[in-house]
């Protein structure tokens, strides 16, 4: 049986960090991420960057250069209270301004205040959004069935306990998704919490640390593989190498490759 329970490099599990709002404390959080080799995704309300508590618009490209920039609604308005056209305006403005500030295309999002609806999902999908994260903790390590309804594992306050369970698991294919706000660490004076979590995760050679879009793209590539009915032939039509196990053996099928097993 073919099992898609491996990540790039044949690693058994994956972690992604997902932080909202573009607060100034993102700089300190990024320093911690970089120190321990952790990749992060930062969801930014580009229409609010003029406020003192947010990062400076002119520094967005520099601050987030090693991490993913993602949309979060231009003004952080609750999507469940907006019309379809208003939701479209919030997303389109954010995507346009983030592209202008960073020079990078944005394909991901988190819902402002974690609130969404089928209407908001439909608009996001029509605008080319590949994933969007909620604030509804699971709190397990499952992969989203639909990345436009991406429920994280936990808020960062629960991250240490979740990381310990995650690292102890031997199932394979698990995903730990931690979300939060960097400003909360400063408010609660608990920066050591995320330092401990990042140190543990970064020290584990069997953990793939990925941004949200990297994780989404990889899982979508796994789901796009064409497998013969007898599971003897696999075709990878994507541009991403995919790892899996068959008969307990870890195997990789490269981008655009067809293999016989």
Domains of the chain listed by start with CATH number: 13-220 (3.20.20.370)
Residue 196: CA atoms inside 13 Å, Cβ hemisphere, count? Answer: 14
pLDDT value at residue 64: 98
Taken in order 36, 39, 45, 47, the sign of the CA dihedral is positive
pLDDT value at residue 120: 96
Contacts made by residues 3-6, CB under 8 angstroms, sequence distance 24+: 3/172, 3/173, 3/244, 3/245, 3/246, 4/173, 4/222, 4/242, 4/244, 5/171, 5/172, 5/173, 5/244, 5/245, 6/172, 6/173, 6/243, 6/244, 6/245, 6/250
Q: Say if CB 48 and CB 75 are below 8 A apart.
A: yes
pLDDT value at residue 115: 85
Helix (H, G, I), strand (E, B) or coil at 155: strand
**CB-based burial, 100-111: b 16+ in 10 Å, e otherwise:** ebbeeebbbbbb
Secondary structure letter of residue 55 according to DSSP = P
Rounded to two decimals, the pTM is 0.96
Q: Which of 46, 20, 25, 30 is nearest to 183 (CA)?
A: 25
Low-confidence residues in the chain, pLDDT < 50: none
pLDDT value at residue 183: 98
């Amino acid at each position: 049986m073919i099992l898609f329970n491996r990540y790039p490099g044949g690693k058994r599990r994956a972690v992604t960090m997902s932080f909202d709002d573009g607060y100034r404390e993102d700089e300190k959080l990024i320093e911690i991420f970089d120190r321990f080799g952790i990749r992060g995704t930062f969801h930014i309300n580009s229409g609010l960057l003029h406020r003192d508590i947010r990062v400076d618009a002119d520094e967005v490209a520099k601050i987030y250069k090693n991490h993913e920039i993602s949309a979060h609604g231009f003004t952080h308005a609750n999507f469940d209270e907006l019309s379809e056209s208003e939701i479209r305006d919030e997303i389109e403005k954010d995507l346009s301004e983030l592209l202008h500030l960073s020079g990078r295309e944005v394909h991901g999002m988190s819902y402002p205040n974690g609130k969404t609806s089928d209407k908001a999902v439909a608009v996001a999908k029509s605008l080319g959004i590949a994933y969007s994260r909620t604030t509804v903790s699971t709190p397990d390590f499952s992969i989203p069935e639909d990345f436009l309804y991406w429920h994280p594992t936990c808020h960062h306050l629960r991250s240490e306990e979740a990381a310990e369970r995650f690292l102890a698991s031997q199932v394979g294919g698990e995903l730990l998704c931690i979300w939060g706000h960097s400003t909360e660490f400063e408010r609660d004076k608990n920066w050591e919490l995320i330092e401990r979590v990042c140190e543990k995760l970064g020290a584990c050679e069997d953990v793939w640390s990925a941004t949200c879009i990297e994780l989404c793209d990889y899982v979508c590539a796994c789901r796009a593989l064409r497998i013969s009915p007898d599971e003897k032939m696999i075709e990878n039509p994507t541009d991403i190498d995919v790892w899996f196990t068959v008969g307990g053996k870890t195997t990789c099928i490269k981008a655009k490759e067809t293999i016989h097993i």
